[in-house]
Amino acid sequence: MDFKSLLNNKYILLDGAMGTMLQEAGLEAGGIPELLNLTDPELIESIHKKYIAAGSNIVYANTFGANRYKLKGNSVEEVISAGVSIAKKACGGKALTALDIGPIGQLLEPTGTLTFEEAYSIFKEQIIAGKNADIIVFETMTDLYELKAAVLAARENSHKPILCTMTFEENMRTFTGCSISSMALTLNGLGVDAMGINCSLGPKQLAPVCEELMKWTNVPVILKPNAGLPDPVTNKYDVLPEDFAEQMKTAALYGVSIFGGCCGTTPEYISKLKSVLEKTDIKREKITIPAAVCSSSNTVIINQPRIIGERINPTGKKLFKEALRKHDIGYILNQAIEQTHAGADILDVNVGLPEIDEKEMMVSAVKAIQGITDAPLQIDSTIPEVLEAALRIYNGKPIVNSVNGEEKSLETVLPLVKKYGASVVGLTLDQNGIPPKAEDRFKIAEKILSRALEYGIPKEDVYIDCLTLTASAEQEAVMETLKALKRVKDELGLKTVLGVSNISFGLPNRAMINQNFLTMAMAYGLDLPIINPNIDAMTGAVRTFKLLTNIDKNSTEFIAAYNDAVPQKPVTEKKSGTVSLSYAIENGLKEDSAAATAQMLKNHAPMEIINDILIPALDKAGANFEKGTIFLPQLILTAGAAQSAFAVIREKMTSENAEPVSKGKIVLATVKGDIHDIGKNIVKVLLENYGYTVIDLGKDVPCESVVKAAIEHKVKLVGLSALMTTTLKSMEETILLLRQNNVDCKVVVGGAVLTQEYADQIGADFYAKDAMETVNIAKQIVG
Amino acid sequence: MQKIKLEKLNRNEALRYMGHRGEVSTALEALMEKCEAELLEHISPAFIYKVFDIEESDEGVTVCGTTLTLRGNDIREHLSGCSSAVLLCATISPAVDSFIRKKEITDMSSAFAADALASAAIEQVCTMADEIIKSQLPDKFFTWRFSPGYGDFPLDTQRDFLNVMNAQKRIGLCLEESNILTPRKSVTAVAGISDHQVERKKRGCASCNMASKCNFRKRGEHCGF
């Protein structure tokens, strides 16, 4: 018997709760139940046997929390292999044993500090330890990212069937915000053998969740709900076995075919469930899964034009290139936020620059971008290793940009697309370049599709780019592109993608050409325009198209974009744009400050504005803060206004090839173990305003990274922040390591729990009681 | 479990966390208002509680039927005279963390305000949870909430605390190796339950282990604990 043959049955019955049975047997709440595999194997075996007697076809070994984080020093190998042997013994060939793996117990970065790679390694250890099990089950997952690490670990370290269930609330989301469609699209792509829902609520509340899941997958669906909710005083669950079994019928009618029970259920629930399922019809029809991509919380269905934002790309952008060289992730994140605010549905991410480590940069950028936006990403690189590194750590189902008709490209890129379950952009060019005629581009599209299908990539995941040529150079080619696009759409039934702006290169009034070409392309069937969404004419063309083609029903989206969503201006005492720069800064008016700076730059030199207005305004605010006439909120508002003025100046100077002068570099970090970094970030803004270059290492920074950065950048000052008494130790260790390596720098420390006394004790050179004091210390040390 | 929904946030409390005093300027007022509205869209409160019998022991207080011991003199004193206690876990969701992270990129002053407002929000959730718990046990008397980290009640209690409450499964509450709760704006707390009115030491600086380092105290203020 194996899992595949079980699938021929009308339904598969899993087991009920292990924890509930153990607590009935006297296990204290909070204990580590997996240790019973070593201390009381008979008890565990007897529970498995009860479930098998009740009809379970698969039992979950007692290994749910047996990971190196939760086992606190006990051997994962020993606990898991014992758990699997006990279950196998109980099964005796009558049922299958599942290696049961739950969440690690720590949140992954960026909310927590556990990295994707560490999560993978924790799961890998469990999977290897459970090598004797028949199948692998991941259950009670709430974070799609953690689940992806788990599934990859299983795929790469075993050949067993993989079953995944996540825990959803009544709002159809997990605690981390993962949606049903995102789970399904991602797991479909990763090739799991069954997926579904467990824990959290009773069968009645979870039936609608199953109904939704059915719209997104063709793999068998699992439901393993709780026996309702526990009473906080008596700890009894509120759904009885008969009711539980009856309520499960609804899910069966939707087509769920794998059933079991989670918290609060016992063998009685399982046997009642069996008798109900015997009498219930279970039918499942194959569905067509919509063409879609997703992040963990947002699914974008490609059933209408969707904007791919093109701005995260250094080509032709001085500031962007500079940011990449400085590893300034903040710059890239700003580009991401700006584009999604402007209306981008998907963001293209290209960080290729010859002199940097593109793979490392791509991974850092994708991790950071997916931490602050829910727009799905399009991974854009010409290097397969870069694509793979990003596909691994992407949280959701991304698009790969791109493959082309050349054999070498097809055989390196398509296997990656298949393995990680992405969509892919196919460019209609090959070793001979871009064919001038529509029919030849169509032929390449056909070839790309057939090769993708051979690799097992579904048709709906192939998007074709018929390539825009420049109208000024190849005017006759413009319509060829559109003709090819239409044929790909109509005859192959594929989604289409097109970079638009190239059309107008070398011509005047580019914006007008771009906008009109975009509208023409959409009329020919373009689904995914790659554009600069910050240009309103482009985003507006897409919105207008949707309105006129009756996609945007009742013009809702259009009206929301142009009537209601007028950006709210901050409350100002004078009219925006008419205030002086010093007034804007003093009153913390960000927009006014930028506007006034742009105005002044028309007839003042940048350095004049910095020295005569910005620095005196900042000094004044700093002095008032120290005197106690203004408080931290105003100081930060002022700093924010100054920051926006500096941004305008920096842009101007860079465009004139005059690099802004830095007063020197300072390394800032929130120490290892600590994730509170808002204080450090406030300090950063102030230091940057005063002209220092801040090397921001972020939060939870290992001691070694601080030392490495201090040496590499030859800084005179390192700033360390900690907010917890428990992480002060890391601060001390970081200082010690700096001293041991004879790094010639001073160390300033700050954070809520620090005192001068403690700073002295751990060997810091300075204690800064607030952000302003750090600036004063920087002036003294760096100059 | 009853649901909690926050309609508005305690802005004055947030301003106090931010170190503000005196009159609120129009720019600051506008900032707080905007952040409050945006933050409310990301907050989804979740809480669980469970009542346990307790027993005093040499180490502190044993929570019966669990592996959890509440260690320290302060918690023992806090629960003295109580035969049972309620354990509470509450959070306002990881979406708040992500929202603050995004603000830190685009606008530090909004991030600072949102962080303080989120701190005020989790306090509000705890207070509302208190009311729900009290209404479920109408004949009982309660002490105030005491959290790991207060006085000599060790922070490393968190791990057992969360395990006993099954907090990860039930409300998605996790713990860092450094005993920081994630999502960031989350609380664990214990309140004593008694059949009679119980006299308790007042909340205040005397029972706070931050007293010597506290920024509020340095300014001659009080945090409200």
DSSP per-residue letters across A387-443 = HHHHHHH-SEE-EEEEEESSHHHHHHHHHHHHHHT-EEEEES-BTTB--SSHHHHHH
Task: Specify the pLDDT at position B219.
Answer: 66
CATH architecture of A665-781: 3-Layer(aba) Sandwich (3.40)
Q: Which of A127, A50, A133 is nearest to A90 (CA)?
A: A50
Kindly provide the residue ranges of all beta strands, DSSP E only, lying in A85-202, ordered along the sequence: 96-101, 135-141, 162-166, 194-198
A574 falls in which pLDDT band (50, 70, 90)?
very low
Question: pLDDT grade, residue A575 (50/70/90)?
Answer: very low
**Closest to A229 (Cβ–Cβ): which among B1, B171, B177?**
B1
Cis before A582 (ω within 30):
no
**For residue range A680-692, what is the model confidence (pLDDT) as tens digits?**
999 999 999 999 9
pLDDT of amino acid A572 = 41
In angstroms, how far is the first alpha carbon of chain B from the final one? Answer: 27
What is the pLDDT at residue A569?
A: 45
State the architecture of A3-278 in CATH terms. Alpha-Beta Barrel (3.20)
Which pair of structure tokens corresponds to residue B54?
């307790």
Dihedral angle sign, alpha carbons of residues B17, B22, B25, B26: positive
Q: Which residues of B touch A333 (CB under 8 A)?
A: 105
CB-CB under 8 Å, B169 with A678: no
Class for the domain spanning A292-564: alpha beta
Cα–Cα distance, A214 to A430 (Å, whole number): 39
Q: List the single residue in B with minimal CA-CA distance to A635.
A: B109
Give residue A576's pLDDT: 46
Question: Residue B9 phi/psi, 5° resolution?
Answer: -110, 155
For residue B111, the chain A residues in CB contact (below 8 A) are 678, 681
Name the pLDDT band for B224 (thresholds 50, 70, 90). low
Instruction: Please state at what angle helix A41-54 crosses helix A76-91, rounded to 10 degrees.
Output: 40
Least confident of A113-127, A294-308, A572-586, A717-731: A572-586
Mean pLDDT along residues B21-50? 94
Torsion, Cα A32 A37 A40 A41, to 10 degrees, reads 150
Q: pLDDT band for position A739 (50/70/90)?
A: very high
Q: What's the rounded mean pLDDT across residues B176-196?
A: 94
Token pair 């009670």 in the structure block, residue: A140
CA distance A681 to chain B (A): 8
What's this model's pTM, rounded to 2 decimal places? 0.92
Q: pLDDT tens for residues B94-136?
A: 999 999 999 999 899 999 999 999 999 999 999 999 999 999 9
Mean pLDDT value across residues A397-411: 97
Among A580, A608, A607, A779, which residue's Cα sits nearest to residue A686? A779
CB A68 within 8 A of CB A25: no
A window 719-738, beta carbon within 8 A of B: 724-727
Q: Is A175 within 8 Å of B46 when comparing Cβ atoms?
A: yes
Q: Which helix (H) or strand (E) holds B55?
A: strand B46-56
Can you tell me the mean pLDDT for A437-443? 97
ipTM of the prediction: 0.90
Q: Does B77 touch chain A (CB under 8 A)?
A: no
Contacts of B172 in chain A (CB under 8 A): 142, 174-176
Which ranges in chain A are annotated with CATH 3.40.50.280? Answer: 665-781
Note the pLDDT of residue B205.
72
pLDDT at residue A564 in the model: 60
Confidence of residue A570 (pLDDT cuts 50, 70, 90): very low
Residues of B in contact with A30 (CB under 8 A): 66-68, 160, 163-164
The per-residue pLDDT for B222 is 66
Q: What share of chain A is helix, strand, coil (3-state, %, to 5)?
A: 50, 15, 35
Spatial distance between the Cα atoms of B159 and B71, rounded to a whole number of angstroms? 13
For residue B201, what pLDDT band results from cuts at 50, 70 and 90?
low
Quick one: pLDDT at residue A568?
Answer: 45
- Looking up tokens 């620059």, which residue turns up? A353
Q: Does B68 touch chain A (CB under 8 A)?
A: yes
Confidence of residue B207 (pLDDT cuts 50, 70, 90): low
Q: Cβ of B50 and A673 within 8 Å?
A: no
Q: What percent of chain A has pLDDT over 70?
A: 98
> Do A682 and B108 lie within an 8 Å CB cutoff?
yes
Average the pLDDT over B156-168 and give the result.
Answer: 95
Q: Are A750 and A769 in contact (CB under 8 A)?
A: yes
Q: Which has the higher per-residue pLDDT, A73 or A268?
A: A268
**Contact, A712 vs B139, CB < 8 A?**
no
Residues linked to residue A499 through DSSP beta bridges, in sequence order: A530
Cα distance between residue A374 and residue A384, in whole Å: 25
Which of B44, B68, B35, B40 has its CA nearest to residue B54? B68
In whole numbers, what is the pLDDT of chain A averaged over residues? 94
In the predicted structure, residue B206 carries a pLDDT above the cut 80: no
* C-alpha distance from B43 to closest chain A C-alpha (Å): 12
pLDDT at A362 over 60: yes
Averaged pLDDT for residues A198-226: 97
The per-residue pLDDT for A67 is: 97
- The answer to whether A496 touches A525, Cβ cutoff 8 Å, is yes
Rounded-to-integer distance, Cα A601 and Cα A650, Å: 11
A587-598: average pLDDT: 90
Chain B window 83-102: which residues touch A at a Cβ cutoff of 8 Å?
86, 93-95, 97-98, 100-102
CA-based nearest residue in chain A for residue B50: A232
pLDDT at A38 over 90: yes
Higher pLDDT, A770 or A243: A243
Residue ranges, comma separated, of all CATH 3.20.20.20 domains in chain A are 292-564
Confidence of residue A234 (pLDDT cuts 50, 70, 90): confident
Write down the CATH number for the domain with range A581-655. Answer: 1.10.1240.10
* A470-522 residue pLDDT tens: 999 999 999 999 999 999 999 999 999 999 999 999 999 999 999 999 999 99
Residue A44, exposed/middle/buried by CB under 10 A (0-12, 13-18, 19+)? Answer: buried
Q: What is the DSSP letter of A671?
A: B
pLDDT reported for residue A783: 87
CB contact under 8 A, A106 and B48: no
Please say whether the beta carbons of A239 and A214 come within 8 A. no
Please state the domain extents for chain B. Answer: 11-218
Interface of A with B in 320-349 (CB under 8 A): 330, 333-334, 337
Between the CA of residue A743 and those of A698, A705, A715, A762, what are the distances in Å? 20, 13, 9, 16
> What is the dihedral angle through the alpha carbons of A505, A510, A513, A515, rounded to the nearest 10 degrees?
120
pLDDT tier, A571 (very low <50, low <70, confident <90, very high otherwise) = very low
Two structure tokens written together for B12: 């004055």
Q: Do A633 and B113 touch (CB under 8 A)?
A: yes
Mutate to test the interface with B, among A297, A591, A636, A643 (most CBs of B within 10 A): A636
In terms of CATH architecture, what is B11-218?
3-Layer(aba) Sandwich (3.40)
Cα distance between the two ends of chain A: 75
Inform me whether the C-beta atom of residue B160 falls under 8 Å from chain A C-beta atoms. yes
For the segment B7-35, the average pLDDT, to the nearest whole number, is 93
Instruction: Give the number of beta-carbon pairs within 8 Å between A and B.
Output: 189
